[in-house]
Amino acid sequence: MTDVFEWKTDFVTGNTLIDDEHKQLFQQVNELYELFSDTKKYHDQISEKIISLKTILIKHLYEENELFEKYNISEKEEHLKAHTDLIKIINEFENYNFSSLLVALLLCDTIINYFSEHFSKYDKKFILELNKKMSIKT
């Protein structure tokens, strides 16, 4: 099956750790979309995928946060706030009595938005600075 969301070379930052995590997010969203083909049959798998997707995304955001500190990244406050807001939104999905299908769709939407907005607004610039600082350190 072809991927619904295609990974683009524009998303490559040259930072292996970040690129691998971003690719993983893409892969998870595509796998989740495949499960939508039969929501009754794949009900349990959708619920499991929600947990793994959420875990991977939150872990990724925290990892970026740690890198801000470790490499003293400039203008990190706004980026940090964007991550905090995103984590809050994701966690809020659980506060409502949403069906797992709706949570799955909202999660996919959040991640797709991450790549269309957050990535170009924050990640790209941050990783450019990070790559420079990492190459100096090694």
Give min distance, CB of 48 to Fe ion, in A: 23
* Span interacting with Fe ion, options 2-10, 40-48, 64-72, 89-97, rule CB under 5 A: 64-72
- Phi and psi at 8, nearest 5°, equal -110, 150
Q: For residues 11 and 123, give the distance between their C-alpha atoms in angstroms, rounded to a whole number.
A: 10
| Given 64, 68, 73, 130, the residue binding Fe ion (CB under 5 A) | 64
Dihedral Cα 78, 80, 84, 86, nearest 10 deg: 70
Q: For residues 68 and 74, give the distance between their C-alpha atoms in angstroms, rounded to a whole number.
A: 8
Number of residues interacting with Fe ion: please give it, by CB under 5 A: 3
| Given 73, 107, 123, 130, the residue binding Fe ion (CB under 5 A) | 123
Per CB under 5 A, residues contacting Fe ion are: 64, 122-123
